[in-house]
Structure 1
Amino acid sequence: MACSRVPGMFNLRNLSSFPSIILPANYISVAKFSSLTTFKSYKNNINAKSCDILKPNVFDVSLEMNRKASNSTMNQAEVDKFAKMAGDWWNPDGVCKPLHSMNKVRVPFVRDRLVPGNNSAQPLKGLNILDVGCGGGILSEPLARLGANVTGVDACKENIEIAKFHSSKDILTKDTNFICSTIEEYAETSGIKFDAVVASEIIEHVDNPQLFITSMSSLLKDGGDLFITTLNRTTRSWLLAIVGAEYVAGMLPKGTHNWEKFLKPEEIEEMCEKAGLGTRMVSGMTYIPVVNKWMWIPDKSVNFALHASKYIN
Protein backbone atom coordinates (compact mmCIF):
# COMPACT_ATOMS: atom_id res chain seq x y z
CA MET A 1 0.00 0.00 0.00
CA ALA A 2 1.12 3.56 -0.53
CA CYS A 3 2.82 5.47 2.27
CA SER A 4 0.65 7.98 4.06
CA ARG A 5 3.72 10.11 4.64
CA VAL A 6 7.20 10.32 3.19
CA PRO A 7 10.08 9.52 5.59
CA GLY A 8 12.21 12.48 6.59
CA MET A 9 15.26 11.13 4.71
CA PHE A 10 13.68 12.09 1.38
CA ASN A 11 13.79 15.71 0.25
CA LEU A 12 10.90 15.97 -2.19
CA ARG A 13 12.19 19.26 -3.60
CA ASN A 14 15.14 17.35 -5.09
CA LEU A 15 13.14 14.60 -6.76
CA SER A 16 12.29 16.36 -10.02
CA SER A 17 14.56 13.98 -11.94
CA PHE A 18 12.78 10.86 -10.67
CA PRO A 19 9.78 9.10 -12.31
CA SER A 20 6.35 10.45 -11.44
CA ILE A 21 4.58 8.69 -8.61
CA ILE A 22 1.56 6.64 -9.66
CA LEU A 23 -0.71 5.55 -6.85
CA PRO A 24 -0.87 1.74 -6.76
CA ALA A 25 -4.11 -0.14 -7.26
CA ASN A 26 -5.56 -2.08 -4.35
CA TYR A 27 -4.89 -5.79 -4.25
CA ILE A 28 -6.02 -8.85 -2.39
CA SER A 29 -3.67 -10.51 0.08
CA VAL A 30 -3.19 -14.22 -0.59
CA ALA A 31 -3.78 -16.61 2.29
CA LYS A 32 -1.74 -19.73 2.94
CA PHE A 33 -3.56 -22.83 1.75
CA SER A 34 -3.13 -26.40 2.91
CA SER A 35 -3.52 -27.87 -0.58
CA LEU A 36 -3.68 -26.87 -4.22
CA THR A 37 -7.28 -28.11 -4.38
CA THR A 38 -8.23 -25.69 -1.60
CA PHE A 39 -6.43 -22.89 -3.39
CA LYS A 40 -8.14 -23.51 -6.74
CA SER A 41 -11.55 -23.65 -5.05
CA TYR A 42 -10.81 -20.34 -3.28
CA LYS A 43 -9.53 -18.75 -6.50
CA ASN A 44 -12.65 -19.72 -8.45
CA ASN A 45 -14.89 -18.32 -5.73
CA ILE A 46 -13.20 -14.91 -5.54
CA ASN A 47 -12.52 -14.28 -9.23
CA ALA A 48 -15.92 -12.73 -9.93
CA LYS A 49 -15.92 -10.76 -6.67
CA SER A 50 -12.42 -9.41 -7.09
CA CYS A 51 -12.68 -8.11 -10.65
CA ASP A 52 -14.02 -4.72 -9.53
CA ILE A 53 -11.23 -4.38 -6.94
CA LEU A 54 -8.50 -5.26 -9.39
CA LYS A 55 -9.54 -3.06 -12.32
CA PRO A 56 -6.29 -1.92 -13.92
CA ASN A 57 -5.68 1.76 -14.38
CA VAL A 58 -4.45 3.19 -17.67
CA PHE A 59 -0.82 2.69 -16.63
CA ASP A 60 -1.36 -1.02 -15.87
CA VAL A 61 -3.02 -1.52 -19.27
CA SER A 62 -0.06 0.12 -21.01
CA LEU A 63 2.41 -2.01 -19.07
CA GLU A 64 0.50 -5.19 -19.89
CA MET A 65 0.52 -4.36 -23.61
CA ASN A 66 4.27 -3.81 -23.56
CA ARG A 67 4.88 -7.06 -21.69
CA LYS A 68 2.80 -9.09 -24.13
CA ALA A 69 4.53 -7.58 -27.15
CA SER A 70 7.85 -9.36 -26.58
CA ASN A 71 8.51 -12.96 -27.61
CA SER A 72 11.67 -13.14 -25.52
CA THR A 73 12.39 -12.64 -21.84
CA MET A 74 15.81 -11.10 -22.47
CA ASN A 75 16.20 -7.36 -22.10
CA GLN A 76 19.58 -6.48 -23.60
CA ALA A 77 19.87 -3.25 -21.59
CA GLU A 78 19.42 -5.24 -18.37
CA VAL A 79 21.98 -7.84 -19.46
CA ASP A 80 24.50 -5.10 -20.29
CA LYS A 81 23.84 -3.47 -16.91
CA PHE A 82 24.69 -6.65 -15.01
CA ALA A 83 27.67 -7.43 -17.23
CA LYS A 84 29.27 -4.21 -15.97
CA MET A 85 28.90 -5.28 -12.33
CA ALA A 86 29.88 -8.94 -12.89
CA GLY A 87 33.23 -8.50 -11.12
CA ASP A 88 31.48 -7.40 -7.93
CA TRP A 89 29.24 -10.45 -7.37
CA TRP A 90 31.42 -11.99 -4.67
CA ASN A 91 32.41 -8.76 -2.92
CA PRO A 92 30.46 -9.00 0.37
CA ASP A 93 30.75 -5.24 0.86
CA GLY A 94 29.96 -4.25 -2.74
CA VAL A 95 26.71 -3.62 -4.60
CA CYS A 96 25.64 -7.25 -3.99
CA LYS A 97 25.90 -6.91 -0.21
CA PRO A 98 22.08 -7.02 0.26
CA LEU A 99 21.89 -10.20 -1.86
CA HIS A 100 24.54 -11.95 0.24
CA SER A 101 22.56 -10.99 3.34
CA MET A 102 19.30 -12.16 1.73
CA ASN A 103 20.67 -15.72 1.64
CA LYS A 104 20.03 -15.88 5.39
CA VAL A 105 16.28 -15.80 4.72
CA ARG A 106 15.83 -17.07 1.15
CA VAL A 107 17.91 -20.25 1.55
CA PRO A 108 15.92 -21.40 4.65
CA PHE A 109 12.73 -20.35 2.81
CA VAL A 110 13.48 -22.74 -0.06
CA ARG A 111 14.78 -25.50 2.23
CA ASP A 112 11.91 -25.44 4.70
CA ARG A 113 9.21 -25.33 2.01
CA LEU A 114 10.80 -28.27 0.17
CA VAL A 115 11.80 -30.49 3.10
CA PRO A 116 10.10 -29.21 6.28
CA GLY A 117 11.61 -30.54 9.47
CA ASN A 118 14.72 -31.99 7.84
CA ASN A 119 17.62 -30.88 10.04
CA SER A 120 20.34 -32.94 8.39
CA ALA A 121 23.53 -31.35 7.06
CA GLN A 122 22.36 -31.83 3.47
CA PRO A 123 18.55 -31.75 3.54
CA LEU A 124 18.28 -31.07 -0.22
CA LYS A 125 20.34 -34.12 -1.21
CA GLY A 126 18.93 -35.79 -4.33
CA LEU A 127 16.82 -32.80 -5.39
CA ASN A 128 17.36 -31.11 -8.75
CA ILE A 129 17.04 -27.32 -8.42
CA LEU A 130 17.21 -24.72 -11.19
CA ASP A 131 18.42 -21.22 -10.24
CA VAL A 132 17.12 -18.82 -12.91
CA GLY A 133 18.94 -15.51 -13.25
CA CYS A 134 21.70 -17.01 -11.14
CA GLY A 135 24.12 -14.11 -11.61
CA GLY A 136 27.48 -15.00 -10.09
CA GLY A 137 26.04 -17.99 -8.21
CA ILE A 138 25.38 -16.29 -4.87
CA LEU A 139 22.26 -18.41 -4.28
CA SER A 140 23.28 -21.46 -6.34
CA GLU A 141 26.28 -22.25 -4.14
CA PRO A 142 24.52 -22.43 -0.73
CA LEU A 143 21.78 -24.59 -2.26
CA ALA A 144 24.48 -26.92 -3.60
CA ARG A 145 26.12 -27.06 -0.17
CA LEU A 146 22.80 -28.29 1.20
CA GLY A 147 23.06 -31.26 -1.13
CA ALA A 148 20.99 -30.13 -4.14
CA ASN A 149 22.02 -30.81 -7.72
CA VAL A 150 21.97 -27.20 -8.90
CA THR A 151 21.81 -25.81 -12.41
CA GLY A 152 22.22 -22.06 -12.78
CA VAL A 153 20.95 -20.23 -15.87
CA ASP A 154 21.67 -16.61 -16.76
CA ALA A 155 21.52 -14.65 -20.03
CA CYS A 156 24.69 -12.70 -19.15
CA LYS A 157 27.91 -14.43 -20.26
CA GLU A 158 30.04 -12.50 -17.78
CA ASN A 159 27.86 -13.65 -14.88
CA ILE A 160 28.20 -17.29 -15.91
CA GLU A 161 31.97 -17.01 -16.20
CA ILE A 162 32.19 -15.61 -12.66
CA ALA A 163 29.81 -18.29 -11.34
CA LYS A 164 31.82 -21.14 -12.92
CA PHE A 165 35.12 -19.79 -11.63
CA HIS A 166 33.94 -19.21 -8.06
CA SER A 167 32.07 -22.51 -7.68
CA SER A 168 35.07 -24.49 -8.95
CA LYS A 169 37.05 -23.57 -5.84
CA ASP A 170 34.81 -25.51 -3.41
CA ILE A 171 34.43 -29.29 -3.43
CA LEU A 172 30.76 -28.95 -2.44
CA THR A 173 29.91 -26.59 -5.32
CA LYS A 174 32.32 -27.61 -8.10
CA ASP A 175 29.69 -29.81 -9.80
CA THR A 176 27.18 -26.96 -10.09
CA ASN A 177 26.18 -26.61 -13.74
CA PHE A 178 26.11 -23.01 -15.04
CA ILE A 179 24.62 -22.27 -18.47
CA CYS A 180 24.44 -19.02 -20.42
CA SER A 181 20.93 -18.94 -21.83
CA THR A 182 17.54 -17.32 -21.55
CA ILE A 183 15.03 -19.41 -19.66
CA GLU A 184 12.82 -20.00 -22.71
CA GLU A 185 15.78 -21.21 -24.80
CA TYR A 186 16.91 -23.50 -22.00
CA ALA A 187 13.37 -24.89 -21.63
CA GLU A 188 13.35 -25.83 -25.31
CA THR A 189 16.57 -27.84 -25.12
CA SER A 190 16.68 -29.21 -21.57
CA GLY A 191 15.68 -32.81 -21.03
CA ILE A 192 15.60 -32.35 -17.26
CA LYS A 193 12.55 -31.83 -15.09
CA PHE A 194 13.37 -30.11 -11.80
CA ASP A 195 12.02 -30.60 -8.31
CA ALA A 196 12.22 -26.84 -7.76
CA VAL A 197 12.93 -23.66 -9.69
CA VAL A 198 14.17 -20.53 -7.92
CA ALA A 199 13.94 -17.07 -9.51
CA SER A 200 15.25 -14.64 -6.92
CA GLU A 201 15.47 -10.91 -7.71
CA ILE A 202 15.26 -11.49 -11.47
CA ILE A 203 11.68 -11.26 -12.74
CA GLU A 204 11.77 -7.46 -12.36
CA HIS A 205 14.62 -7.38 -14.90
CA VAL A 206 13.10 -9.49 -17.70
CA ASP A 207 10.76 -8.78 -20.58
CA ASN A 208 7.56 -10.81 -20.98
CA PRO A 209 7.19 -12.09 -17.41
CA GLN A 210 4.36 -14.41 -18.47
CA LEU A 211 6.71 -16.24 -20.85
CA PHE A 212 9.31 -16.24 -18.07
CA ILE A 213 6.97 -17.99 -15.63
CA THR A 214 5.53 -20.35 -18.26
CA SER A 215 9.03 -21.44 -19.25
CA MET A 216 9.96 -22.11 -15.62
CA SER A 217 6.75 -24.08 -15.10
CA SER A 218 7.52 -26.26 -18.13
CA LEU A 219 10.80 -27.27 -16.47
CA LEU A 220 9.13 -28.41 -13.24
CA LYS A 221 8.00 -31.92 -12.42
CA ASP A 222 4.31 -32.28 -11.61
CA GLY A 223 4.01 -31.09 -8.01
CA GLY A 224 7.34 -29.25 -8.30
CA ASP A 225 7.86 -25.93 -6.57
CA LEU A 226 8.58 -22.41 -7.82
CA PHE A 227 10.13 -19.78 -5.55
CA ILE A 228 10.20 -16.09 -6.51
CA THR A 229 11.48 -13.06 -4.64
CA THR A 230 10.96 -9.63 -6.15
CA LEU A 231 9.72 -6.06 -5.66
CA ASN A 232 6.12 -4.86 -5.59
CA ARG A 233 4.99 -1.97 -7.81
CA THR A 234 3.83 0.55 -5.21
CA THR A 235 4.60 4.12 -4.26
CA ARG A 236 6.47 2.82 -1.23
CA SER A 237 8.72 0.56 -3.32
CA TRP A 238 9.53 3.51 -5.60
CA LEU A 239 10.49 5.65 -2.61
CA LEU A 240 12.53 2.99 -0.79
CA ALA A 241 13.97 0.70 -3.47
CA ILE A 242 14.71 3.32 -6.11
CA VAL A 243 14.84 6.80 -4.58
CA GLY A 244 16.21 5.62 -1.24
CA ALA A 245 18.52 2.75 -2.22
CA GLU A 246 19.82 4.13 -5.53
CA TYR A 247 19.72 7.93 -5.25
CA VAL A 248 19.87 8.76 -1.54
CA ALA A 249 21.78 5.96 0.22
CA GLY A 250 23.74 4.90 -2.87
CA MET A 251 23.49 1.20 -1.95
CA LEU A 252 22.87 0.34 -5.60
CA PRO A 253 24.01 1.97 -8.86
CA LYS A 254 21.50 4.48 -10.22
CA GLY A 255 19.28 2.82 -12.78
CA THR A 256 19.56 -0.68 -11.28
CA HIS A 257 15.78 -0.98 -11.15
CA ASN A 258 12.96 0.17 -13.41
CA TRP A 259 9.85 0.71 -11.29
CA GLU A 260 7.53 0.05 -14.23
CA LYS A 261 8.89 -3.51 -14.46
CA PHE A 262 7.99 -4.30 -10.84
CA LEU A 263 5.07 -6.72 -10.46
CA LYS A 264 2.33 -6.85 -7.85
CA PRO A 265 1.75 -10.14 -6.01
CA GLU A 266 -1.63 -10.74 -7.65
CA GLU A 267 -0.13 -10.18 -11.10
CA ILE A 268 2.43 -12.92 -10.50
CA GLU A 269 -0.27 -15.17 -9.03
CA GLU A 270 -2.35 -14.75 -12.18
CA MET A 271 0.65 -15.52 -14.39
CA CYS A 272 1.39 -18.61 -12.29
CA GLU A 273 -2.20 -19.79 -12.63
CA LYS A 274 -2.01 -19.44 -16.42
CA ALA A 275 1.20 -21.50 -16.35
CA GLY A 276 -0.36 -24.32 -14.32
CA LEU A 277 0.94 -23.21 -10.93
CA GLY A 278 -1.00 -22.58 -7.74
CA THR A 279 0.28 -20.00 -5.26
CA ARG A 280 0.85 -21.56 -1.85
CA MET A 281 2.25 -18.61 0.10
CA VAL A 282 3.17 -14.94 -0.26
CA SER A 283 5.17 -13.19 2.46
CA GLY A 284 6.63 -9.71 2.82
CA MET A 285 10.33 -9.09 3.37
CA THR A 286 12.28 -6.06 4.51
CA TYR A 287 15.94 -5.08 4.46
CA ILE A 288 17.52 -3.11 7.31
CA PRO A 289 20.70 -1.55 5.86
CA VAL A 290 22.25 -0.38 9.13
CA VAL A 291 22.55 -3.98 10.36
CA ASN A 292 22.63 -5.59 6.89
CA LYS A 293 19.77 -7.90 7.78
CA TRP A 294 16.59 -9.19 6.11
CA MET A 295 13.42 -10.03 8.02
CA TRP A 296 10.07 -11.59 7.18
CA ILE A 297 7.17 -9.18 7.71
CA PRO A 298 3.43 -9.18 6.86
CA ASP A 299 3.77 -6.05 4.70
CA LYS A 300 4.28 -6.95 1.02
CA SER A 301 4.38 -3.39 -0.31
CA VAL A 302 8.13 -3.37 -1.09
CA ASN A 303 9.82 -6.80 -1.15
CA PHE A 304 7.99 -10.10 -1.13
CA ALA A 305 8.55 -13.82 -1.65
CA LEU A 306 6.15 -16.21 -3.37
CA HIS A 307 5.93 -19.99 -3.32
CA ALA A 308 3.86 -21.80 -5.95
CA SER A 309 3.46 -25.48 -6.85
CA LYS A 310 2.78 -27.07 -10.22
CA TYR A 311 -0.60 -28.71 -10.53
CA ILE A 312 -0.55 -32.50 -10.96
CA ASN A 313 -2.24 -33.55 -14.15
Structure 2
Amino acid sequence: MLPMSNVDPQELAKFSELAHRWWDPESEFRPLHQINPLRLEWIDARVGGVAGKRTVDVGCGGGILAESMARRGAQVLGIDLAGKPLKVAQLHAMEAGVQGLAYREVAAEALAAEQPGSFDLVTCMEMLEHVPDPASTVRACAQLVKPGGWVIASTINRNAKAFLFAIVGAEYVLRMLPRGTHEYAKFIRPSELARHAREAGLDAVAGCGLEYNPLTRRYWLSEDQSVNYMLAFRRP
Protein backbone atom coordinates (compact mmCIF):
# COMPACT_ATOMS: atom_id res chain seq x y z
CA MET A 1 0.00 0.00 0.00
CA LEU A 2 1.27 3.44 -0.88
CA PRO A 3 1.83 5.83 2.04
CA MET A 4 -0.96 8.37 2.38
CA SER A 5 1.56 11.24 2.13
CA ASN A 6 2.27 10.18 -1.44
CA VAL A 7 -1.31 10.50 -2.65
CA ASP A 8 -2.93 13.47 -4.36
CA PRO A 9 -6.53 13.81 -3.08
CA GLN A 10 -7.56 15.21 -6.48
CA GLU A 11 -6.25 12.06 -8.13
CA LEU A 12 -8.24 9.96 -5.67
CA ALA A 13 -11.37 11.89 -6.56
CA LYS A 14 -10.70 11.65 -10.30
CA PHE A 15 -10.42 7.88 -10.27
CA SER A 16 -13.12 7.13 -7.70
CA GLU A 17 -15.75 6.50 -10.38
CA LEU A 18 -13.40 4.25 -12.34
CA ALA A 19 -12.49 2.36 -9.20
CA HIS A 20 -16.09 1.53 -8.39
CA ARG A 21 -16.67 0.40 -11.98
CA TRP A 22 -13.66 -1.92 -11.98
CA TRP A 23 -14.57 -3.38 -8.61
CA ASP A 24 -18.31 -3.59 -9.35
CA PRO A 25 -19.00 -7.36 -9.61
CA GLU A 26 -21.96 -6.63 -11.91
CA SER A 27 -19.98 -4.49 -14.37
CA GLU A 28 -18.11 -5.64 -17.48
CA PHE A 29 -15.50 -6.92 -15.04
CA ARG A 30 -17.97 -9.46 -13.64
CA PRO A 31 -16.13 -12.44 -15.21
CA LEU A 32 -12.88 -11.44 -13.48
CA HIS A 33 -14.64 -11.25 -10.12
CA GLN A 34 -16.28 -14.62 -10.66
CA ILE A 35 -13.16 -16.51 -11.70
CA ASN A 36 -10.80 -14.87 -9.22
CA PRO A 37 -11.65 -17.14 -6.23
CA LEU A 38 -11.17 -20.22 -8.43
CA ARG A 39 -7.80 -18.99 -9.67
CA LEU A 40 -6.68 -17.96 -6.21
CA GLU A 41 -7.44 -21.38 -4.74
CA TRP A 42 -5.66 -23.16 -7.58
CA ILE A 43 -2.58 -20.94 -7.27
CA ASP A 44 -2.58 -21.31 -3.49
CA ALA A 45 -2.72 -25.09 -3.73
CA ARG A 46 0.03 -25.29 -6.36
CA VAL A 47 2.58 -23.16 -4.50
CA GLY A 48 1.92 -24.45 -0.99
CA GLY A 49 0.18 -21.26 0.10
CA VAL A 50 0.85 -17.70 -1.08
CA ALA A 51 1.22 -16.38 2.49
CA GLY A 52 4.67 -14.95 3.06
CA LYS A 53 5.70 -15.27 -0.57
CA ARG A 54 7.18 -12.28 -2.40
CA THR A 55 4.91 -12.08 -5.42
CA VAL A 56 4.65 -10.03 -8.60
CA ASP A 57 1.40 -9.94 -10.59
CA VAL A 58 2.31 -9.08 -14.19
CA GLY A 59 -0.45 -7.22 -16.03
CA CYS A 60 -2.40 -6.71 -12.82
CA GLY A 61 -5.01 -4.31 -14.24
CA GLY A 62 -7.25 -3.02 -11.47
CA GLY A 63 -5.72 -5.36 -8.91
CA ILE A 64 -8.39 -8.01 -8.35
CA LEU A 65 -5.95 -10.94 -8.10
CA ALA A 66 -3.10 -8.90 -6.60
CA GLU A 67 -5.29 -7.67 -3.76
CA SER A 68 -6.73 -11.11 -3.03
CA MET A 69 -3.21 -12.58 -2.77
CA ALA A 70 -2.16 -9.77 -0.42
CA ARG A 71 -5.20 -10.48 1.76
CA ARG A 72 -3.87 -14.03 2.10
CA GLY A 73 -0.55 -12.76 3.41
CA ALA A 74 1.56 -12.53 0.25
CA GLN A 75 3.86 -9.54 -0.26
CA VAL A 76 2.55 -8.40 -3.64
CA LEU A 77 3.78 -6.01 -6.31
CA GLY A 78 1.27 -5.46 -9.09
CA ILE A 79 2.69 -4.14 -12.37
CA ASP A 80 1.01 -2.90 -15.52
CA LEU A 81 1.65 -0.41 -18.33
CA ALA A 82 -1.89 0.97 -18.19
CA GLY A 83 -1.83 3.92 -15.79
CA LYS A 84 -5.54 4.30 -15.15
CA PRO A 85 -6.22 0.75 -13.96
CA LEU A 86 -3.17 1.02 -11.69
CA LYS A 87 -4.62 4.13 -10.07
CA VAL A 88 -7.90 2.26 -9.67
CA ALA A 89 -6.02 -0.57 -7.98
CA GLN A 90 -4.10 1.78 -5.68
CA LEU A 91 -7.27 3.60 -4.66
CA HIS A 92 -9.14 0.39 -3.89
CA ALA A 93 -6.26 -0.98 -1.82
CA MET A 94 -6.09 2.24 0.21
CA GLU A 95 -9.86 2.34 0.75
CA ALA A 96 -9.80 -1.30 1.87
CA GLY A 97 -6.70 -0.86 4.04
CA VAL A 98 -4.93 -3.82 2.43
CA GLN A 99 -1.36 -4.31 3.65
CA GLY A 100 1.61 -5.85 1.83
CA LEU A 101 0.55 -4.54 -1.57
CA ALA A 102 2.18 -2.04 -3.95
CA TYR A 103 1.76 -1.13 -7.61
CA ARG A 104 4.13 0.14 -10.27
CA GLU A 105 3.74 1.28 -13.88
CA VAL A 106 6.58 -0.74 -15.36
CA ALA A 107 7.07 -3.41 -18.03
CA ALA A 108 7.82 -6.96 -16.94
CA GLU A 109 11.02 -6.89 -18.98
CA ALA A 110 12.22 -3.72 -17.27
CA LEU A 111 11.46 -5.08 -13.81
CA ALA A 112 13.23 -8.34 -14.68
CA ALA A 113 16.37 -6.40 -15.59
CA GLU A 114 16.09 -4.42 -12.36
CA GLN A 115 15.19 -7.24 -9.94
CA PRO A 116 16.18 -10.61 -11.44
CA GLY A 117 15.53 -13.68 -9.31
CA SER A 118 13.71 -11.66 -6.65
CA PHE A 119 10.26 -13.25 -6.41
CA ASP A 120 8.92 -16.52 -5.01
CA LEU A 121 5.84 -16.33 -7.23
CA VAL A 122 5.06 -14.63 -10.55
CA THR A 123 1.48 -14.56 -11.83
CA CYS A 124 0.41 -13.42 -15.29
CA MET A 125 -3.34 -13.67 -15.79
CA GLU A 126 -5.18 -12.95 -19.07
CA MET A 127 -2.32 -10.77 -20.27
CA LEU A 128 -0.27 -12.84 -22.70
CA GLU A 129 -2.98 -12.70 -25.40
CA HIS A 130 -2.85 -8.90 -25.29
CA VAL A 131 0.87 -8.37 -25.97
CA PRO A 132 2.71 -8.39 -29.33
CA ASP A 133 5.43 -10.77 -28.09
CA PRO A 134 4.17 -13.19 -25.40
CA ALA A 135 7.47 -15.09 -25.43
CA SER A 136 9.23 -11.94 -24.22
CA THR A 137 6.81 -11.64 -21.31
CA VAL A 138 7.33 -15.30 -20.41
CA ARG A 139 11.11 -14.79 -20.46
CA ALA A 140 10.71 -11.80 -18.15
CA CYS A 141 8.57 -13.86 -15.76
CA ALA A 142 11.25 -16.56 -15.76
CA GLN A 143 13.92 -13.96 -14.99
CA LEU A 144 11.88 -12.46 -12.16
CA VAL A 145 11.37 -15.70 -10.24
CA LYS A 146 13.86 -17.19 -7.78
CA PRO A 147 15.29 -20.68 -8.31
CA GLY A 148 12.61 -23.05 -6.99
CA GLY A 149 9.96 -20.35 -7.43
CA TRP A 150 6.70 -20.49 -9.38
CA VAL A 151 5.35 -18.85 -12.53
CA ILE A 152 1.62 -19.22 -13.13
CA ALA A 153 -0.04 -17.95 -16.29
CA SER A 154 -3.54 -18.01 -17.71
CA THR A 155 -4.63 -17.28 -21.25
CA ILE A 156 -6.96 -18.54 -24.03
CA ASN A 157 -6.40 -21.47 -26.37
CA ARG A 158 -6.46 -20.95 -30.16
CA ASN A 159 -8.97 -23.20 -31.89
CA ALA A 160 -12.50 -23.09 -33.30
CA LYS A 161 -14.13 -23.76 -29.92
CA ALA A 162 -12.19 -20.94 -28.27
CA PHE A 163 -13.21 -18.57 -31.08
CA LEU A 164 -16.87 -19.49 -30.60
CA PHE A 165 -16.82 -19.31 -26.80
CA ALA A 166 -14.38 -16.48 -26.05
CA ILE A 167 -15.21 -14.12 -28.92
CA VAL A 168 -18.59 -14.92 -30.52
CA GLY A 169 -20.23 -16.07 -27.28
CA ALA A 170 -18.64 -13.80 -24.68
CA GLU A 171 -18.43 -10.60 -26.74
CA TYR A 172 -21.35 -10.76 -29.19
CA VAL A 173 -24.02 -13.15 -27.90
CA LEU A 174 -23.81 -12.93 -24.11
CA ARG A 175 -22.11 -9.50 -24.13
CA MET A 176 -20.07 -10.45 -21.09
CA LEU A 177 -17.13 -8.48 -22.50
CA PRO A 178 -16.91 -5.40 -24.75
CA ARG A 179 -16.62 -6.24 -28.44
CA GLY A 180 -13.02 -6.25 -29.56
CA THR A 181 -11.66 -7.34 -26.18
CA HIS A 182 -9.91 -10.30 -27.78
CA GLU A 183 -8.20 -10.94 -31.12
CA TYR A 184 -8.27 -14.56 -32.24
CA ALA A 185 -4.83 -14.49 -33.86
CA LYS A 186 -3.27 -13.61 -30.50
CA PHE A 187 -4.72 -16.62 -28.67
CA ILE A 188 -2.04 -19.08 -27.47
CA ARG A 189 -2.15 -22.85 -27.50
CA PRO A 190 -1.00 -24.59 -24.29
CA SER A 191 1.79 -26.26 -26.27
CA GLU A 192 3.01 -22.84 -27.42
CA LEU A 193 2.97 -21.40 -23.91
CA ALA A 194 4.78 -24.49 -22.63
CA ARG A 195 7.41 -24.07 -25.35
CA HIS A 196 7.94 -20.39 -24.46
CA ALA A 197 8.35 -21.39 -20.82
CA ARG A 198 10.73 -24.26 -21.62
CA GLU A 199 12.89 -21.98 -23.77
CA ALA A 200 12.95 -19.51 -20.86
CA GLY A 201 14.26 -22.20 -18.52
CA LEU A 202 11.03 -23.13 -16.74
CA ASP A 203 9.65 -26.62 -16.07
CA ALA A 204 5.93 -27.29 -16.62
CA VAL A 205 4.35 -28.69 -13.45
CA ALA A 206 0.55 -28.56 -13.72
CA GLY A 207 -2.36 -27.19 -15.71
CA CYS A 208 -6.13 -26.83 -15.62
CA GLY A 209 -8.98 -25.49 -17.68
CA LEU A 210 -11.73 -23.01 -16.85
CA GLU A 211 -15.28 -23.67 -18.04
CA TYR A 212 -18.49 -21.61 -18.02
CA ASN A 213 -22.19 -22.46 -18.15
CA PRO A 214 -24.15 -19.49 -19.60
CA LEU A 215 -27.44 -20.81 -18.24
CA THR A 216 -26.34 -21.01 -14.60
CA ARG A 217 -23.70 -18.25 -15.10
CA ARG A 218 -21.28 -20.45 -13.20
CA TYR A 219 -17.55 -21.03 -13.70
CA TRP A 220 -15.56 -24.07 -12.58
CA LEU A 221 -12.09 -25.54 -12.99
CA SER A 222 -11.67 -28.75 -14.98
CA GLU A 223 -9.17 -30.76 -17.01
CA ASP A 224 -10.53 -29.23 -20.23
CA GLN A 225 -8.00 -26.67 -21.53
CA SER A 226 -9.73 -26.17 -24.88
CA VAL A 227 -10.76 -22.56 -24.15
CA ASN A 228 -9.50 -20.82 -20.98
CA TYR A 229 -6.62 -22.46 -19.15
CA MET A 230 -3.89 -21.99 -16.55
CA LEU A 231 -0.41 -23.49 -16.49
CA ALA A 232 2.00 -23.63 -13.55
CA PHE A 233 5.76 -23.64 -14.11
CA ARG A 234 8.74 -23.82 -11.79
CA ARG A 235 12.28 -22.52 -12.14
CA PRO A 236 14.78 -25.28 -11.35
- 1:59 paired residue number: none
Please say if 1:273 is aligned against 2:198: yes
Aligned with 1:222: secondary structure? strand
Greater RCO structure (CA 8 Å; 6+ sep): 1
Match of 1:190 among 96, 102, 115: 115
Please say if 1:155 is aligned against 2:81: yes
Shift of 1:278: 0.7
Aligned with 1:139: secondary structure? helix
The letter for the 2-side match of 1:130 is: V
Aligned with 1:285: secondary structure? strand
Contact 2:73–2:100 under 8 Å retained in 1? no
Aligned counterparts of 1:216 and 1:259: Cα–Cα separation in 2: 24
Aligned counterparts of 1:232 and 1:197: Cα–Cα separation in 2: 21
Please say if 1:169 is aligned against 2:95: yes
Please say if 1:250 is aligned against 2:183: no
Larger radius of gyration: 1
**What TM-score does the superposition give when structure 2 sets the normalisation length?**
0.88
Aligned with 2:27: secondary structure? coil
Aligned counterparts of 1:196 and 1:181: Cα–Cα separation in 2: 18
Matches within 5 A, 1:1-313: 87=19, 88-115=21-48, 123-171=49-97, 173-190=98-115, 193-311=118-236
Shift of 1:191: 6.1
Segments of 5+ residues of structure 1 without an aligned counterpart are 1-84, 116-122
Aligned counterparts of 1:114 and 1:300: Cα–Cα separation in 2: 20
Shift of 1:307: 0.5
- Residue identity over aligned pairs, in percent, reads 35
The letter for the 2-side match of 1:262 is: F
Contact 1:101–1:292 under 8 Å retained in 2? no
Aligned with 2:95: secondary structure? coil
Whose strand proportion is higher, 1 or 2? Answer: 2
Contact 2:74–2:100 under 8 Å retained in 1? no
Contact 1:227–1:306 under 8 Å retained in 2? yes
The letter for the 2-side match of 1:182 is: A
The letter for the 1-side match of 2:47 is: L
Q: Deviations over 1:176-204 (max 9, x none)?
A: 11001111122222366100100111111
Segments of 5+ residues of structure 2 without an aligned counterpart are 1-16
Q: Deviations over 1:42-83 (max 9, x none)?
A: xxxxxxxxxxxxxxxxxxxxxxxxxxxxxxxxxxxxxxxxxx
